[in-house]
Structure 1
Amino acid sequence: MVREMTKTHEELLQEAINVYLSSLKYLDNFVSEPATKYGLSFEQYLILHTIADREHVSLMDIASERKVTRSAISRQIKVLLQHNYIYQKPAESDRRRLYLHLTKSGQQVENKVYELTSARFDEWINHYGEEKVRQVLDFIKDFAQTEMKNFNSSKQTNQS
């Protein structure tokens, strides 16, 4: 069965594609740009920020909180280790458990990227207003939550 889209829906689809191509891809670059100055992706910076915020955090803690695999975080951690931004230290109570810590240069980079990111976000709030920023964030959260639920439902249905 072939369903035809109404003219309005076709126009909205085309507009959504244009917004994605011209804006959403730019948004990702805009957000991640401060981290790239230090050889990091935004995801890697977020891990660095998590380590800066917490005294005892492990690779498994981060993977669990982000709902991703251990290997996905491990790849990110490897880059942070190569840049000498973090180091791992065994827990006193369980030597098998490795806690992540910032090096001095890791602390400096985390501070600088945090300042740059915060300044950019403050510009958004000053330009668009707090209410509009909240509306956009609420829409994105709602959209992601609904679509992920739909995605997971259809994925389970297809596997059955």
Structure 2
Amino acid sequence: MGNTNDALLKEAIEVYLTSLKYLDNFVSEPAKAYGLSFEQYLILHTIATREKVSLMDIANERQVTRSAISRQIKVLLNHDYIYQEPAQSDRRRLYLHLSDEGQEVEKKVTDIVAARFDDWINDYGAERARDIIDFIKDFANRKMGDLNKLSE
């Protein structure tokens, strides 16, 4: 590896060890106050913003296994943030709904996350935020494509 790449690698590692960990905490901390991971909050948010959503719908949209979402749903059920209701047309299909407490928690966390994001936009501007988001999307698409090619 050349000196330029060595220096960039060291800087990338430093950014990962400091800034990216902060970014994760910045996003996930509001949910932790309610005993939730950020992923669990996102499921709550999906249920809050959609009608007739099932575990399978969420798994398909996130491109993860049913069991991965099932584990997250179990936590939400244990906290009494959600409940399941069978579909009238097919009793085997269970729709997810927020309980009153789940609605309250989802709203509080959403408000905090939105306020934090607004602060971020105020600090950096919408254009720079868009550039960062676009870069992350591009990076993920390229690198995930590379990983998928390796596993084939």
- Aligning the two structures, in what range does the TM-score lie when normalised by the shorter sequence? over 0.9
Separation (CA, whole Å) in 2 of partners of 1:54 and 1:127: 32
The CA deviation string for residues 40-74 of structure 1, in whole angstroms up to 9 with x for no partner, is 00000000000001110000000000000000000
Larger-Rg structure: 1
- Quote the residue 2:73 is aligned against: 77
- 1:55-134 paired onto structure 2 within 5 Å: 55-134=51-130
Separation (CA, whole Å) in 2 of partners of 1:121 and 1:32: 12
The CA deviation string for residues 103-159 of structure 1, in whole angstroms up to 9 with x for no partner, is 000000000000000000000000100000000000000000000001100111xxx
Unaligned runs of 5+ in 1: none
Separation (CA, whole Å) in 1 of partners of 2:147 and 2:51: 36
Choose from 120, 131, 135 the match for 1:135: 131
Separation (CA, whole Å) in 1 of partners of 2:125 and 2:136: 17
Structure 1 runs of 4+ aligned residues shifted over 6 Å read none
TM (norm. structure 2) is 0.99
Q: CA deviation at 1:34?
A: 0.7
The CA deviation string for residues 21-55 of structure 1, in whole angstroms up to 9 with x for no partner, is 01111110110011111110000000000000111
Aligned residues: 152
Unaligned runs of 5+ in 2: none
SS in 2 for 1:134: helix
Identity between Structure 1 and Structure 2 (%):
70
Give the letter for the 2:10 counterpart.
Answer: Q
Separation (CA, whole Å) in 1 of partners of 2:130 and 2:79: 35
Separation (CA, whole Å) in 1 of partners of 2:77 and 2:33: 17
SS in 2 for 1:44: helix
TM (norm. structure 1) is 0.94
